[in-house]
Amino acid sequence: DGRTHPDEASRQLLARQLGFSETVFVDDPERGRVDIHTPGLRLPFAGHPLVGAAWLLDLEILELAVGDVFARQDGEFTWITARPEWVPPRTLQRYASAAEVEALPSPPPGEGWLYAWAWEDEAAGRVRARAFPRRGDAIVEDEATGAAALLLSAHLGRALNITQGRGSQILTAPAPDGTVEVGGRVLMAVRG
C-alpha cells in the first residue's frame, strides 16, 4: 500500500529492506496508480512487476509517470501493453546457444544492464534468457524481466516465448502501433 510509504525516501528504504528485484507501491488501487522501486533506485517502468500488479488489481489500466499501461487477463496469462521507449537502457546480447546462456557466471563481467539471450527454437520464437542488472545493489540476477523481453520483442519484430532465470515464462507480442504486449502467469507468493 503506497499510502503507508508516501515519500520516495521511505519507499526506497522499504525496497532495500525487502531486497526483491522490484517493489511496487500501489498509490491508488481504484485508478491503478503505481510506483516501482528496486533496492537501489526508482524505475519509471518495469515489466514483470506490472504484470503482477495488473493481476492483483484486475484493472484495464495502470497509471505510471511514463504513461498508461493497458492490462488484460485471458484466464491463463496476465498481459500488459507498453512502449519500448519507456524501458530504461540495457544491452541485449545474443549468444550462439542456450547452453552458452546457461553457462554464464552470475553476474558476467562488465557494467550496465545485460540481457543475455539465445534462440532455443528460432522458427517457433522460443528464447532462453538471463538478466543481470549489474547496478551494484543486492540483485545479481533477475528471475523475470518483462522490460528486457519487451525490448527484445520490439528489436526482433516478432512474438516470443522466453524462458528466463530458473524457469519463468514470459510471452511477448509486438503490435503495429509500436507497443508490445508482455504476459505471463502470476502466483501469489506472500500475503500481507
pTM of the predicted model as reported, rounded to 2 decimal places: 0.92
Contact 185, 76 (CB under 8 A): yes
Give me the domain span that covers residue 161.
2-184
Burial (0-12, 13-18, 19+ Cβ within 10 Å), 105: exposed
Given this model, what pLDDT does residue 191 score? 61
Given this model, what pLDDT does residue 136 score? 78
Q: Considering its fold, how many domains does the chain have in total?
A: 1
Given this model, what pLDDT does residue 192 score? 54
Inside any domain, residue 158: yes
* Whether the bond into 89 is cis, omega within 30 of 0: no
Inside any domain, residue 191: no
Inside any domain, residue 192: no
pLDDT by residue, tens only, the chain of 192 residues: 777 887 889 999 999 999 898 999 999 999 999 999 999 889 999 999 999 999 999 999 999 999 999 999 999 999 999 999 999 889 999 999 999 999 999 888 888 899 999 999 999 999 999 999 888 777 889 999 999 999 999 999 999 999 998 889 999 999 999 999 999 999 887 665
Given this model, what pLDDT does residue 131 score? 95
Cα-based distances in Å from 26 to 55, 67, 122, 125, 181: 13, 15, 38, 34, 22
Inside any domain, residue 81: yes
Inside any domain, residue 190: no
